[in-house]
Structure 1
Amino acid sequence: MPDATLAFEDGTLRVEADPALDLPHTEADARSKTRRAPAFRYAALREHLDERGLSYEDRVLDAPDLPDVASSYELRAYQRDALSAWEEAGRRGVLELPTGSGKTVIGLKAIEDLQVATLVVVPTIDLLEQWRRELEAEFGIPVGQLGGGEQTVEPLTVSTYDSAYLRADELGDRFGLAVFDEVHHLGGEGYRDIARLLAAPARMGLTATFERPDGAHEVVADLVGEKAYAIDPDDLAGEHLAPYDIKRLEVELTAEERERYEAANEVFTNYLASSNIRMQSGSDYQELVKRSGSDPRAREALLAKQRAREVMMNSDAKVDALEGILADHRGDRVIVFTAHNDLVYRLSERFLLPAITHQTGTAERREILERFREGTYSRVVTSNVLDEGVDVPDANVAVVLSGSGSEREFTQRLGRILRPTDDDRPALLYEVVTAETAEERVAERRR
């Protein structure tokens, strides 16, 4: 008789064992008169049993066999280092590499090395289609798809986070490896359950920026593994990524814009002074939002902050600065980033730039990006929609007219211009900041 029996049941591990064993991560289940553990504790529980020399019957994984797969890719030195670090961490952990450095290739090599059924989880339909195309091209086998109007499961399957969330308890025993692309998304409240309900003992997270401002990366580290490897864009620039430079341009508000900005900012700061809210963290901002539901002064302060933000981020001088940048880079491929759709459409109309926002249909967006790729278009203006999760054609100039204080957002935008070009042109990122406004602090935070 084995000392314990492990089985998968609806996203949990059902553990039959003598209560005196005191197995970690488990708790008594009065209904089944067994013990239970979250499915993601499968590897840790098995390791504990092995270390104590206890015998156990393992019925957890019901994963189909993966046909022998092999990739034609040859890993670069830093990609080999990343994969080795993940292996040494027990085939668990997060790999942090810049956009354009070939994170997908590392994931493919992990699948090739392990030769087990694998689920790849991605945040967007664009990434889902990219991964599926790449896997089918490299391995030559059918690839399942969960999302984008399709629900097929194969030993090798790609899923959106949304679809994986809906089906993780059902499919949690079908895969030996789970690869989470843009793994920082897994820190979201609902998405965490995907990793909790999967039993896959091998787990890999891929991202350009792991840490989240809300601290949720600590949850991801528990579910997927700690950061096992990280490399900065600076370490790859000039050899594997394009060399790059960042230029910060400061512009001034007009007299009329300055008056509107100061008036709105005064309403906001006066309320803070009288309310003991110091705005030193995200929780302070959430407190202000909470109060705005019942306090008219808090609501007016919140609206005033938004008005001030719109003035500084959409100033006339920024538009003029962009005009000069576009004139200086007539022969370059340029992506212009803004924080607001209104400014996207304003710039699109003034400079006749193709525009991509969240309101742009999938077919239109693909057509614009394809024309950008083939050179019909040399400039594109966008809001946050191209920051991640979309295969953006090579560009060598980025202009950040406005954005948040997020280091992740800044890193992703920089990454859009770091793929090496045939002529080895250096990449250039312009950061246009409105002087003597809160945007100066925002720019410092993201850097």
Structure 2
Amino acid sequence: MFGPGDGGHIVPPLQRGCVTLVCRFEDGTIRLDGDSDALDPDALPGVTVDDRGKTLRAPAYRYGELRAALDEAGVDYTDRVLALPTLALSTSYDLRDYQTAALDAWRANDRRGVLELPTGSGKTVIAIGAMAALATPTLVVVPTVDLLTQWRRELETEFDVPVGQLGGGEQTLEPLTVSTYDSAYLRAEDIGDRFGFVVFDEVHHLGGEGYRDVARLLAAPARLGLTATFERPDGAHAVVEDLVGPVVYDRSVDDLAGDHLADYELRQVDVELTPAEREAYDEAQGTFVDYLKTSGLSLDSGSDYQELVKRSGRDPQAREALLAKQEAREIMMNADGKVDALARILDRHRGDRCLVFTAHTDLVYRLSERFLMPAITGETGTDERRSILDRFREGTYTRVVAANVLNEGVDVPDANVGVVLSGSGSEREFTQRLGRILRPKSDGGSAILYEVVSVDTAEERVADRRR
């Protein structure tokens, strides 16, 4: 049976002296049955009194802490929460020095915590190393069907055991199982006692209100979170720390560039709005700014922007300002000068593999038609997207244009040139896009990321913020 601190080996159920208490998993909780009158629930982590049966319960994710507290208090109990087999897992991966350091840091924190490492740095490899070391049934939770397929393929290749899948049209459960966050949310209270280890890929998603229950309902004491950018603008990363653990190891792109990731260069390309675009932009932006001056709201505050959205439902002036802001944003992000700049960049890099990122689907299709590039948007089917990326990997295609969907959750084949035509001020988005071109190059080559920015617009501030 797997428990905190036992390294994933099989041990007999914990019985000491006269057993007075029994711990069981039930519907996403740890239920304490037996002689609990002498226990002080307030002294045990997460434990409350269930008035329905007068039993004690704790959220399943507090299982490890609960066991430790019972041991420390000298309470006699039998642990029937997890009764898991030892898996014969071994890996052929030779971890790099920083990957070994990351794994050691996670182990030192009682096998709980988050690794914050750039895209392309081999976070999956570290997780596989942890699985081999623990040798316990493991659930891997991912945000997209693409990642579901990638993880399953990787685990089937590395380990000679069946790999289950929850999501993408399949519901099969195995000691090693990969699940989408959505499927794990639906199944967690039923399968919460089936795994001793859980890996959350793109763990920042766990901060979402609904997805938090995925972690709460699983009893697995060993927890590993993987991400390139841990902090969330809404502060919900604090919730992730409680459910998975804090960041125990982090390295930036600059830390790994050159030795483990490709060297890279950032180039900003400034473009001017056309006279017609400038007139329309100034008018729309002016309407928005004038409203802010009289409303008491701040241009830089995310909460104030949300307040503007709320007001727009009842205040005609607020609605006019919001629509004006959206119009100004579309003008600066889809400027004709950006298309001309992209033409020059693509001409300069004819022999390179290029990924072009935009914020708007309409611009993707416009660029696809203009430059005869395959397009990937949220409207692109899974099979078509996979086919495009396969052909990009093979070299049949050397250019792809996408609207946000390649930011994360997709295994993008090696590219060495990225072009950001438009995007948000999110540091996460920028880091993810940069990571798409930073995978180690077999020829030792470097990567270039272009940012195309409309000058004398709010986009200049957006570009500064995301860096």
Give the C-alpha shift of residue 281 in structure 1: 2.8
Q: 1:124 and 1:19 mapped to 2: Cα distance?
A: 47
The question of whether the paired residues in 2 share the 8 Å contact of 1:95 and 1:206 is answered with yes
Give the C-alpha shift of residue 103 in structure 1: 0.5
Deviates more, 1:306-315 or 1:235-244: 235-244
SS at 2:265 equivalent: strand
| TM-score between both structures, scaled by the size of structure 2 | 0.94
SS at 1:364 equivalent: helix
Q: 2:381 and 2:129 mapped to 1: Cα distance?
A: 34
Give the C-alpha shift of residue 327 in structure 1: 0.9
Give the C-alpha shift of residue 4 in structure 1: 3.5
Aligned to 1:48: 69
Matched letter for residue 37 of structure 2: D
Q: 1:44 and 1:281 mapped to 2: Cα distance?
A: 39
Aligned to 2:78: 57
RMSD of Structure 2 on Structure 1 (CA) = 1.2
Q: 1:210 and 1:350 mapped to 2: Cα distance?
A: 37
- Does residue 1:6 correspond to 2:23, yes or no? yes
The question of whether the paired residues in 2 share the 8 Å contact of 1:117 and 1:155 is answered with yes
The question of whether the paired residues in 1 share the 8 Å contact of 2:356 and 2:402 is answered with yes
Matched letter for residue 5 of structure 1: V
Q: 1:304 and 1:164 mapped to 2: Cα distance?
A: 41
- Does residue 1:260 correspond to 2:280, yes or no? yes
Matched letter for residue 29 of structure 2: T
**Which runs of structure 2 are paired with 1:2-151 in the superposition (5 Å)?**
2=19, 4-16=21-33, 17-21=36-40, 22-63=43-84, 65-151=85-171
Q: 2:238 and 2:339 mapped to 1: Cα distance?
A: 40
- Does residue 1:390 correspond to 2:410, yes or no? yes
Matched letter for residue 109 of structure 1: G
Q: 2:66 and 2:440 mapped to 1: Cα distance?
A: 45
Aligned to 1:246: 266
SS at 1:93 equivalent: strand
Q: 2:156 and 2:267 mapped to 1: Cα distance?
A: 41
Q: Note the alpha carbon deviations across 1:43-73, whole angstroms, 9 max, x for none.
A: 111111222333321111244x243111111
The question of whether the paired residues in 1 share the 8 Å contact of 2:438 and 2:447 is answered with yes
Give the C-alpha shift of residue 19 in structure 1: 4.9
Q: 2:365 and 2:319 mapped to 1: Cα distance?
A: 28
Aligned to 2:338: 318
Q: 1:303 and 1:36 mapped to 2: Cα distance?
A: 50
Give the C-alpha shift of residue 102 in structure 1: 0.6
Q: 1:226 and 1:420 mapped to 2: Cα distance?
A: 28
Deviates more, 1:417-426 or 1:379-388: 417-426
Q: 2:270 and 2:231 mapped to 1: Cα distance?
A: 29
**Which runs of structure 2 are paired with 1:357-436 in the superposition (5 Å)?**
357-436=377-456
Q: 1:392 and 1:219 mapped to 2: Cα distance?
A: 30
User: Of 209, 234, 237, which residue of structure 1 is paired with 2:254?
Assistant: 234
Deviates more, 1:169-178 or 1:358-367: 358-367
SS at 1:107 equivalent: helix
Matched letter for residue 59 of structure 2: P
Aligned to 1:223: 243
In the alignment, structure 2 segments of 5+ residues that lack a partner are 1-17
Give the C-alpha shift of residue 31 in structure 1: 0.7
In the alignment, structure 1 segments of 5+ residues that lack a partner are none
The question of whether the paired residues in 2 share the 8 Å contact of 1:3 and 1:18 is answered with no
Q: 1:276 and 1:291 mapped to 2: Cα distance?
A: 13
Q: Note the alpha carbon deviations across 1:265-317, whole angstroms, 9 max, x for none.
A: 11111222222221433221221111122222222211111100000001111
The question of whether the paired residues in 1 share the 8 Å contact of 2:45 and 2:62 is answered with no
Q: 1:191 and 1:343 mapped to 2: Cα distance?
A: 32
- Does residue 1:269 correspond to 2:286, yes or no? no
Aligned to 2:5: none
Matched letter for residue 21 of structure 2: A
Deviates more, 1:274-283 or 1:103-112: 274-283
Q: 1:20 and 1:279 mapped to 2: Cα distance?
A: 54
Q: 1:400 and 1:174 mapped to 2: Cα distance?
A: 43
Q: 1:337 and 1:105 mapped to 2: Cα distance?
A: 27
Q: 1:18 and 1:353 mapped to 2: Cα distance?
A: 70
Give the C-alpha shift of residue 425 in structure 1: 1.3
Q: 1:66 and 1:297 mapped to 2: Cα distance?
A: 65
| TM-score between both structures, scaled by the size of structure 1 | 0.98
SS at 1:393 equivalent: coil
Q: Note the alpha carbon deviations across 1:128-182, whole angstroms, 9 max, x for none.
A: 0111111111111110100011001011100000000001011111110000000
Aligned to 2:307: 287
Matched letter for residue 18 of structure 1: D
Q: 2:71 and 2:299 mapped to 1: Cα distance?
A: 50
Q: 1:20 and 1:199 mapped to 2: Cα distance?
A: 22
SS at 1:218 equivalent: helix
Deviates more, 1:82-91 or 1:36-45: 36-45
- Does residue 1:192 correspond to 2:212, yes or no? yes
Matched letter for residue 232 of structure 1: S
Q: 1:219 and 1:352 mapped to 2: Cα distance?
A: 45
SS at 2:366 equivalent: helix
SS at 2:451 equivalent: strand
The question of whether the paired residues in 2 share the 8 Å contact of 1:214 and 1:282 is answered with no
